[in-house]
Structure 1
Amino acid sequence: MTHAIVFLLLGLVLLVISAESLVRGASRLAAAFGISPLVVGLTVVAFGTSAPELAVSTVATFSGQADIGLGNIVGSNIFNVLVILGLSAVITPLVVAKQLVRLDVPVMIGLSILMWIMGLDQQISRVDGVILFVIAIFYVTYLIRISRRKPVLEAEYAGEFSASKKEKSSWFKNIVMVCIGIGGMILGSKWLVDSAVLIARQFGVSELVIGLTIISLGTSLPEVATSLIAAFRGEKDIAVGNVIGSNIFNIVSVLGISAAVSPKGIPVPLAALHFDIPIMVGIAAVCLPLFYARYRVSRLNGIFFIAIYAAYLTDLLMSATGSAHLSAFRHIMLYYALPFAAISLFVSVWLGRRSLRAA
């Protein structure tokens, strides 16, 4: 058991370090090619911070632990919005770029729903994976076209990547950084998956729950670092854009590639289909009216997000341990907490739009 815990922690550390190496190398190479900061932010960095999820989900799929791969994707998307945005907003109220509200958040919602529909037959097939990856190609292509039509939007992401053009190292060094990042993530994900499976079996916890909690938290660490650092630096729009972009890439790239390369696709457990994926869809849908209200995420919104995640995590742990109080907990959440949250959200959106018009 001690051996498994040590390798799980080593795997997490290696994933974070490798992702940082990949993002830095890829960002500088992109800058050397003259790619705009907007496209770098929503593509290279979003994909780079999603790379640990890709490595873990692909390795888990080929290792026969598909539940971990799927749980990692769904859990990461839930964690990204509720915890990363929540903590970032608590640090400082976040600015939401208009393009995110008009394009990227609706895309995230649409892809979350599409993933749910694809999983209704309890299988994300290879064909589904190819379709998702083709969508990724179209999405990136569209972003590049937008950046050419509206170069002013680059200013929204220039703060984080302005140094990239100034820090053009040698091509060889950047390529080496990318290769080290990829190799490190493959090794780190192998350690992480194998250790998590061993720990799950020791405690009798399902692989799906491990994927939704420990693995998703670990692979989301690059997003945590990027968004929190951006919030501390005052680059408030980056904190939001990083999360939304990563969630989109988790579905179209991580799930798409994992399903496409898997001989039998990725099975979707009924537990995920009936509970976790609908939660992911609902959280994605909540972002649109909340962001649209005042194009910002307030500290109160951040606390609201963190509270939702605490309730979700409590439900997962109670379900995993077979708690006798699970039914009562879900009754309270369904008939009291959720209606109260829905009313609070409606009031927040209404007041936000009213104050925006008054301004």
Structure 2
Amino acid sequence: MTLSILGYLLAGLVLLVAGGEGVVRGAAALGMRLGLSSLATGLTIVAFGTSAPELVVNIEAATLGEGGLAVGNVVGSNIANIGLVLGVAVLVRPMGLDVRAVRNDIYVMLGVSALAWFFLVNGNIGQAEGGILALGIIIYVWVNVLAARRETEPAQASFEGAIHGRDRPVWLDLLMLGIGLVALLAGGRLFVHGALDLSGNIGLSPTVIGLTVVAVGTCLPELATTAIAAWRGYGDMAIGNVVGSNIFNVLSVLGITALIHPLERGDVNLVDLLVFLLSGAVLLRLIVTGSRLARWEGAVLLAGFCIYTGWRVTA
């Protein structure tokens, strides 16, 4: 790998992470100024903002005709969220959680993953399929906002610490939002450019790069936040972050990208799609047993991810 390729990837990743943070903080503060509750803001603006890096990368890849990289990014990110992110988080600290808090979201994640699997296994994702997925995220967010209105004051207050901005001047929120959007666009272009150069340099297809390098790169923010939540003993938040990210990756990132530009499946094969589907099914154990995740289970998840990634790179 040449230094220029590594530079593109690192610079793009830094801009994506910084841009996503700027968009989240600026837009969330503006949303609360407009009367949205902290919880509703967290479920809408913040959730979309944390998916922004993946969305920008996918749109950039799709417009360059690299649909395989875009599809690989979503499939690989969801696999990485379970195997890498959740695996590392459980190794950091075994998780005890209230399954009732995430049961419905796990079912939604499994349902949308099965829908995406059906679309992909039967061919490419066109604008009609993208429209169905994008409609799904609108419905999902709307249902969650309605549920947020029924939450108790402690639940609402729990989001206040994570979303700041009412004490800042409005021009600073607008500036953060604008800089964040510019950074996202620039970072997405650099990261995709670096990924495609890497693909040609080491002889792997853009799809495989999307399934591995791009997927891991764009899920690093989730890795950091989930590991921190686990370390602090917030098992529900850690699991919710992984599940929510997977839902948004399929419905908003894959859906909106396909709605803008039809996606070819590329080299994403049936094994990739099977791992994509089965990785989410791992969380069914939480629903059935309702028990904590032990360190050995985190080790199994991480080992499974490493084995899959190693096989995909060398296959």
Band the TM-score falls in, shorter-chain normalisation: over 0.9
Match of 1:272 in 2: 268
Instruction: Tell me which structure has the larger Cα radius of gyration.
Output: 1
Please identify, of 294-303 and 113-122, the stretch whose mean Cα deviation from structure 2 is larger: 294-303
2: CA distance, partners of 1:154 / 1:248: 26
2: CA distance, partners of 1:38 / 1:75: 29
Structure 1 residues 102 and 53: CA distance shift in structure 2, 3 A: same
Say yes or no: does 1:62 pair with 2:84: no
**Contact 1:101–1:288 (8 Å) recurs in 2:** no
2: CA distance, partners of 1:165 / 1:13: 22
Cα deviation for residue 297 of structure 1 reads: 2.5
Structure 1 residues 72 and 40: CA distance shift in structure 2, 3 A: same
2: CA distance, partners of 1:222 / 1:85: 13
Match of 1:312 in 2: 308
Cα deviation for residue 172 of structure 1 reads: 2.1
User: Structure 2 matches for 1:217-296, cutoff 5 A?
Assistant: 217-262=216-261, 265-269=262-266, 271-296=267-292
Cα deviation per residue 1:257-311 (whole Å; 9 max; x = unaligned)? 100011xx10113x42411122111111121223542253222221121111111
1: CA distance, partners of 2:274 / 2:256: 22
Cα deviation for residue 97 of structure 1 reads: 4.2
The aligned amino acid for 1:171 is V
**Contact 1:108–1:247 (8 Å) recurs in 2:** yes
Match of 1:14 in 2: 15
Structure 1 residues 15 and 165: CA distance shift in structure 2, 3 A: closer
Q: Give aligned-pair identity as a percent.
A: 37
Match of 1:333 in 2: none
How many residues are matched? Answer: 314
**Contact 2:29–2:165 (8 Å) recurs in 1:** no
Match of 1:245, SS state, is: helix
Match of 2:136 in 1: 135
Instruction: List runs of 5+ in structure 1 lacking aligned partners.
Output: 320-359
2: CA distance, partners of 1:62 / 1:95: 43
Cα deviation for residue 154 of structure 1 reads: 6.2
2: CA distance, partners of 1:229 / 1:167: 25
Say yes or no: does 1:192 pair with 2:187: no
User: Structure 2 matches for 1:19-168, cutoff 5 A?
Assistant: 19-149=20-150, 151-152=151-152, 155=155, 158-159=157-158, 161-164=160-163, 168=167
Say yes or no: does 1:299 pair with 2:282: no
Cα deviation for residue 116 of structure 1 reads: 1.0
Structure 1 residues 219 and 304: CA distance shift in structure 2, 3 A: same
Structure 1 residues 225 and 167: CA distance shift in structure 2, 3 A: farther
The aligned amino acid for 1:275 is V
TM-score between the two structures when normalised by the length of structure 1: 0.82
The aligned amino acid for 1:276 is D
The structure where helix makes up a greater share of residues is 1
**Contact 1:42–1:245 (8 Å) recurs in 2:** no
2: CA distance, partners of 1:227 / 1:25: 22
Cα deviation for residue 50 of structure 1 reads: 1.4
The aligned amino acid for 2:51 is S
**Contact 1:19–1:185 (8 Å) recurs in 2:** yes
Larger RCO (CA within 8 A; separation ≥ 6):
2
The aligned amino acid for 1:308 is G
Cα deviation per residue 1:177-203 (whole Å; 9 max; x = unaligned)? 122212111111111111111111111
Match of 2:172 in 1: 173
